[in-house]
Structure 1
Amino acid sequence: MTSSRKMSPVLTRGKACLICRGKKHKCDALKPACGPCIRSGMAGNCVYNTEPVKSALRKLEDKARELEEMVNRLNGRKSITATSDTASSPGFSTGPPTPPPAPYIGFVTGPIILPAESMFFESPSPKFIDCPGFPSPLQKSAKSLQDPFNMLMRQDQLPPQIQSHLINIFLAHRWHYATDFNVPRFLAAAELPQSHSSSVHPALIDAMCLLGCMHSGTSFIRYEGLFLKRTTTSLRSALHHASKLFDFIRAEALLGCYYYVKARGVEAHSLISATIRFAMACQLHEINPDMNTNQNPLLAPPRDLIELGDRIYLFWSLFCIDRSGSLITGLPSELPIDDEKITTPWPCPLEYYIDGRALQVQHKTLASMRYDYIDPYDPNDPFDNVQTFFSKCLHFLNRAATLAQLSLKNGEDHAEEITHTGKSLSRLCDSLTNYRRVHGLYGGNTAHDGVLVLAITGTHAAWIQLLNISAGTVDSAWQQRLEVARQSMQIVREAIAADPASLHLLLGLMWTPVYEVLAAELGRFQQLGDTAGAQYVQGELDELMGALRLLHDVFPFKMDMHVEHLRRFGYHAIPIRL
């Protein structure tokens, strides 16, 4: 049977006129004007696209060609960088003296803009960690469904042995993230079923396992992405159900630390800022040692003194992450700069919250450091502990860097604030010196030693930032800054001679200004033609660069500790990124 209806010819795609194509009308493609345009009185506007129509395959081929050209350009830029680095002698330069670069005023003078290829380690190798004995990421993607561990990871509850192993790894490294709490209380709560009111929220378990995975070496590192997905999923669930918000804050802070370690600075800063805003809504920045006065609609009062101590420690952990994150990224701190707005007391040793001594001490706050009185040193002062020292050093380091930047703007005079900060820093240095004399260093407590060394070197870095303001115009400030840098070098020598396990993640941030001071001194000797003085300072720089390389070996992460800035001096190749 034949159809009486006349079938319209099927046009090749792209042959219709522009009028019909725009109105999605059926076009017969007749020229000079198609039938529909003639019938609608649009014959004068009937035109056709004269450019050849590219097939989908041709478009993909063109895109692939563009990507190949981009890769070739990037590889060419890398080879140029490698050549220039190789040409830089790691030893003393015998060429004509060059003027010393201007002091690096302020820890961060603005966001650090780096080319795309320099975002992580400067290496032509792919940006993943190759673990011996495990398939590469390209191989494992095809085998992921065959891996029984992946199936275990997708369960709501991690296998107890795996969870316990990774949490123990995290607990051994928690001091890197300014994190501490009553561990026996936490471990007991982690054993409880999720239905129990005192159990730990899965988000906190997953966040700890994520960092434990990262510190596990090669055993679990290939599952890091799965742990990251678990953490973000459980955090969303915690916020959605508004359950166990104290655990939620702790978990989100640890996730922010993970992003910082992975050089995802903007993402980390954004997450930590949101976490701190939430913590401030819970009034963690206004904790009163009197437990009966801690009333907040979001967070129930602490059950006992141990939980109060954990909340105080959590706030100062957030404080340290906030201040150090600001120094790393150059972005503003989220917590108030005004000392008076933070009334949470300094943390006592954790045992004070167990035996009740925390209720018997006269608590001190951030604002108490602004007073000019000097107490005689008391070796039993509960606030002379490494957690408090670390918080204080980051407070002054951030303030000194801020003052150094403000001093450059419109000739503003901040002499009074600079003098006051200098006095407070001097008192902190005295406290650290006395504490070390009484309690010692490198006595076998890795966490204690690592945080104490970081607090001492951070205080030195704060002094350097403060002295940077006048070092270019006042000879005494230049000399004093050099003396502080050499005091810090003594700590560097002790640190690299000790157990590498006591090295802290943030040491690269604290050592960078020391390198800058020594590099400026080397440039001065070169200008004067003092070969002997230049060789001595070059030796100090080589020592410090060796310490930075050791940090790189101990922490093979993608951190941004501003070591990249040191390349501008031209005294060392900087093939590391901390």
Structure 2
Amino acid sequence: MIAETPRNSAASRAMAKPLKRGRACMNCRFLKIKCDGVKPICGPCRRNPKDDDCEYSDGPGRSRTKVLEDTVSRLEARLHELEHPDETTPSVTLHDPYRPYHETQRLSKTPPSLVIPDTPLSHSLSPFSPTSTTSSLHSGKQWHTFGLLESMTESTGSSGSSSSPMRQYGSHGSPFLGAEEPSFLVIQNLLEKFLPHCVQYGFFLNVDRFRESSLLHLPFGHPSRPSPAVLSAAYLWGVHLSRSEPLLHQEYNFMVRALQHAATDPLGAHPSNVLHTLQAEILLSYYLFRIGRFLEAKTHAGAAVSLALGCGLHRIRSSNMYTPSTIGLASDTPISLHPALDNIEEGERINGFWAVFTLHKFISVALEIPSSICGTLEAPGMQIDTPWPLDSSSYTEGSLHPDVRGDSTVRNFLGNSIGDVHDGHSTVALNVKASILFHRAAHLTGQWTPNLPTREFQAFAAAFQSINRLIDSFRLHLPPLDDLDPKDPTTRTILLTHALTDAATIKLHSIFSYADSASKQHCLTAARKMVSYGGLNLHELGHMNPIMGTLWVTACHVFIDEISRLRSIPWPPGYTEGGEEELMEKLRNGINGLSLFSEESALMKYQLTKIQEAFSAI
């Protein structure tokens, strides 16, 4: 039997002793004690066991301590980079994907240019507008003051020139700290700039009542004044149309204020918050469309449609009985407006619905691809019974007869129904009908493909003939442009109605104009009428609806296509085609119209650029 060797015997220490001694282990180095270098466990670590095993820097891999030391060194170096960015070259360069957007919000003396990708308008979408997360729409204590504007706009005639549709500025010199709205003099100035042109941007409230209540010496948000949302939107348009340099410097701030109120006013207690919020959404959509922020324009147009349908504006004076839905928690308390107090208030609601309807048509055609031009107002089962709108003065005169009722108003018009309950011959109604024809022609064109099955082709041909006859019949009822006063606000609406009708003809026939000479002539005739402007002087018209740029672009493309076709024909030697000179003159008329209004509209400026590029390519 062999005796057991004691653990601390000399023989045991000799067997554990390595053949080669290394440097001190990490534990000993940290404690600054003498190490015998014995592996795997040195003498000091064996006499005083540690939580961590012995580690040597000359091992086969990096020790844990060494890894920690390297990490600490790397973090210290990175911290130095961040604290002294100008003294070092960063090891990692980060990319900010939102930098182009933030650049447009900075304080700058130079107006930012509109950056739109070289793609169809339907895909040129802007980022959402920023909204403040610190503001309080009811107190205004955290907002900035408008007091700076009073000293900069001493008279209503102050004006300036600007090459940009909107100047976006940061917080420096911002007009928002303490006051909830501008001074009385500034408000007067802004309303004088906006109200003469307000109908072009979907304003449906009674102008006289709106002006009178806006100028009451009452607090912002008082129930006797218009709601903060619609007031802020009107102020924004006044700034935008003022052409005054001090006002334009604050345009971005006015826009943010209007966006904030439109989002929160429906939650307030203003007696007209629903109708006034609807008006604000329409004004904001047209504004954003005009300055080229297309995604936001679509968003606010959609909000206006939802609000109008939600409070039943499409069923005003309906002759049909509707059973309320039995699904949902609030089925027994339907959302509705209080009864109209008089003809003027009811007229505001009727015209309000049709203002939303027209905006929806314009946005759909201008910003959607042709094959998807439709929308909520054309959804299956959607029935519009609201009677055709009257001009604002007609409601004041009591022209809305108590017996007037509505039933399938749009459907009867498209079906050319003689039994329509309301003739719809007012200036506003004619404009709505023209927008329907324009939208329907664009939608039908989007459904066309050369290889349609027989049954689908027959259905398409029937729809084509129906809408074509309706356009021709409708054109006969339009008032002529020859004797109109260009300074009369209704003249702009009538000119827009003519342009929409001509554009509907172009949209409908353009898909066949390359192969069918009759369709080509329809397009050329309509385009010539559109750019002749009825002999009116565009300089005297004032501001136009933003959709006019899209209509003029449609006409200009007709001339460009025909000029290109003529130039491609191998004419005999010595033969000159006189038609090209006339087409060039018409094209210049269309370009002049775009050029005139592009000075204040980023959308038309972009459209003008695209037409010039298309012409230079032929």
Q: TM-score, normalised to structure 1's length?
A: 0.71
Alignment-derived partner of residue 521 in structure 1: 562
Offset, 1:407 = 0.5
Offset, 1:374 = 6.4
Q: 1:119-198 alignment to 2 at 5 Å?
A: 144=173, 149-151=175-177, 154-190=178-214, 191=216, 193=218, 197-198=223-224
Is the contact made by 1:253 and 1:275 (CA closer than 8 Å) also made in structure 2?
Answer: yes
Amino acid at match of 2:363: G
* Residues 1:559 and 1:539: Cα distance change in structure 2 (over 3 Å): closer
Offset, 1:184 = 2.3
Q: 1:412-451 alignment to 2 at 5 Å?
A: 412-413=456-457, 414-432=460-478, 435-436=479-480, 441-451=483-493
Amino acid at match of 2:476: D
The one of 429, 450, 455 equivalent to 1:388 is 429
Alignment-derived partner of residue 258 in structure 1: 287
Offset, 1:481 = 1.9
1:507 is the counterpart of 2:548: yes
Alignment-derived partner of residue 384 in structure 2: 342
Is the contact made by 2:291 and 2:601 (CA closer than 8 Å) also made in structure 1?
Answer: no
Amino acid at match of 2:378: I
Alignment-derived partner of residue 277 in structure 1: 306
> In structure 1, what is the Cα distance between the partners aligned to 2:286 and 2:416?
35
> In structure 2, what is the Cα distance between the partners aligned to 1:115 and 1:185?
35
Offset, 1:542 = 2.2
> In structure 1, what is the Cα distance between the partners aligned to 2:461 and 2:168?
61
Alignment-derived partner of residue 111 in structure 1: 122
Alignment-derived partner of residue 268 in structure 1: 297
* Residues 1:182 and 1:503: Cα distance change in structure 2 (over 3 Å): closer
Is the contact made by 1:489 and 1:544 (CA closer than 8 Å) also made in structure 2?
Answer: yes
RMSD: 4.4
Amino acid at match of 1:163: I
Alignment-derived partner of residue 398 in structure 1: 439
* Residues 1:61 and 1:156: Cα distance change in structure 2 (over 3 Å): farther
Is the contact made by 1:442 and 1:449 (CA closer than 8 Å) also made in structure 2?
Answer: yes
Offset, 1:234 = 2.3
The one of 241, 254, 257 equivalent to 1:215 is 241
Alignment-derived partner of residue 522 in structure 2: 480
Amino acid at match of 2:344: I
Alignment-derived partner of residue 102 in structure 1: none
In structure 1, stretches of 5+ residues that fail to align are 1-5, 10-25, 71-107, 117-129, 574-578
Is the contact made by 1:509 and 1:561 (CA closer than 8 Å) also made in structure 2?
Answer: no
The one of 255, 261, 269 equivalent to 1:234 is 261
Offset, 1:143 = 5.2
> In structure 2, what is the Cα distance between the partners aligned to 1:217 and 1:547?
19
> In structure 2, what is the Cα distance between the partners aligned to 1:506 and 1:426?
22
Is the contact made by 2:190 and 2:235 (CA closer than 8 Å) also made in structure 1?
Answer: yes
Task: Spell out, residue by residue over 1:355-391, the C-alpha distance to the aligned partner (whole angstroms, 9 max, x if none).
Answer: 3220157556222212345699xxxx97322211221
Q: 1:2-13 alignment to 2 at 5 Å?
A: none
Alignment-derived partner of residue 323 in structure 1: 361
1:370 is the counterpart of 2:414: yes
Alignment-derived partner of residue 232 in structure 2: 206
Offset, 1:547 = 2.3
1:544 is the counterpart of 2:571: no
Amino acid at match of 1:236: A
The alignment of Structure 1 onto Structure 2 pairs a total of residues equal to: 478
Q: 1:550-565 alignment to 2 at 5 Å?
A: 550-553=596-599, 555-559=600-604, 562-565=607-610
Alignment-derived partner of residue 126 in structure 1: none
1:470 is the counterpart of 2:512: yes
Amino acid at match of 1:240: L
> In structure 1, what is the Cα distance between the partners aligned to 2:429 and 2:299?
25
Alignment-derived partner of residue 569 in structure 1: 614
Is the contact made by 1:203 and 1:234 (CA closer than 8 Å) also made in structure 2?
Answer: yes
More helix by share: 1
In structure 2, stretches of 5+ residues that fail to align are 1-27, 32-51, 101-118, 128-158, 325-332
Alignment-derived partner of residue 395 in structure 2: 353
Task: Spell out, residue by residue over 1:497-548, the C-alpha distance to the aligned partner (whole angstroms, 9 max, x if none).
Answer: 6614265433211111111111121122112234433233223222322222
Alignment-derived partner of residue 74 in structure 1: none
Offset, 1:409 = 7.4
Is the contact made by 1:285 and 1:342 (CA closer than 8 Å) also made in structure 2?
Answer: yes
* Residues 1:558 and 1:300: Cα distance change in structure 2 (over 3 Å): same
Identical aligned pairs, as a percentage?
19
Alignment-derived partner of residue 224 in structure 1: 251
- Highest relative contact order (Cα 8 Å, sep 6+), 1 or 2? 1
Amino acid at match of 1:482: L
* Residues 1:31 and 1:261: Cα distance change in structure 2 (over 3 Å): farther
Task: Spell out, residue by residue over 1:115-139, the C-alpha distance to the aligned partner (whole angstroms, 9 max, x if none).
Answer: 99xxxxxxxxxxxxx9679xxx999
> In structure 1, what is the Cα distance between the partners aligned to 2:207 and 2:172?
38
Q: TM-score, normalised to structure 2's length?
A: 0.67
Q: Which protein shows a greater Rg?
A: 2
Amino acid at match of 1:367: R
Is the contact made by 2:278 and 2:304 (CA closer than 8 Å) also made in structure 1?
Answer: yes
Is the deviation greater in 258-267 or in 174-183?
174-183
* Residues 1:498 and 1:367: Cα distance change in structure 2 (over 3 Å): same
Amino acid at match of 2:255: L
Offset, 1:463 = 0.3
